[in-house]
């Protein structure tokens, strides 16, 4: 018997990512969306809304806490990126499926781990969906590329 399809549902008001199998909640995690609000404009640092898919999964073979720059893991002697919004542990790169969010992949909107785990549960990111590192690793292992994602206001 085929299991029910998996989908990711993200609620901006609740600052929560819910992994669903069919209509049933399978896992639920606190998250952090953009501190700049909701939107799809290039360079706005806002979190887009609508329908998406996981376009790429990056970092599955790296240790928890790995820092990525340009979607590549930093080597031990590399300088840290000049940003407070470090992309850590795993990357689920989102691709927008609606006309108004079609630029999501080009905007580099990810679901990823963060060094700011203390800010999870309230808007604090630069557009991406931040998760605790242990949570994003668990999510990464439970979903495939092409998993549908909805981000709603």
Quick one: pLDDT at residue 78? 85
Question: Which CATH number, 2.40.440.10, 3.40.50.1100, 3.40.250.10, 3.40.50.2020, labels domain 6-152?
Answer: 2.40.440.10
pLDDT at 84 over 90: no
The ranges assigned to domains in the chain are 6-152
To the nearest whole number, what is the mean pLDDT of the chain?
Answer: 95
Residues 84 and 106: their CA atoms lie apart, in Å, by 21
pLDDT at 130 over 80: yes
Question: What is the per-residue pLDDT across 94-107, written as a single tens digit (0 to 9) for each?
Answer: 999 999 999 999 99
CA triple 137-141-144, angle to 5 deg: 125
Q: How confident is the model at residue 37 (pLDDT cuts 50, 70, 90)?
A: very high
> What residues form DSSP beta bridges with 130?
32, 112
Residues 131 and 116: their CA atoms lie apart, in Å, by 9
Mean pLDDT is lowest, of 66-70, 78-82, 130-134, for 78-82
CB neighbours of 146 closer than 8 A, spacing ≥ 6? 53, 54
Residues 100 and 14: their CA atoms lie apart, in Å, by 23
């Amino acid at each position: 018997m085929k299991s029910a399809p998996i989908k990711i549902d993200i609620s901006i008001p609740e600052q929560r990512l819910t992994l669903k199998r069919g209509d049933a909640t399978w896992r639920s995690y606190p998250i952090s969306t953009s501190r700049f609000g909701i939107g799809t404009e290039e360079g706005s640092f806002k979190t887009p809304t609508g329908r998406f898919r996981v376009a790429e999964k990056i970092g599955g073979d790296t240790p928890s806490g790995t820092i990525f720059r340009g979607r590549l893991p930093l080597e031990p002697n590399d300088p840290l990126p000049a940003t407070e919004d470090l992309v850590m542990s795993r990357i689920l790169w989102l691709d927008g499926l609606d006309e108004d969010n079609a630029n999501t992949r080009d905007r580099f909107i990810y679901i990823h781990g963060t060094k700011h785990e203390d800010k999870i549960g309230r808007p604090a990111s630069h557009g991406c969906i931040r998760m605790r590192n242990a949570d994003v690793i668990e999510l990464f292992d439970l979903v495939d590329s092409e998993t549908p994602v909805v981000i709603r206001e």
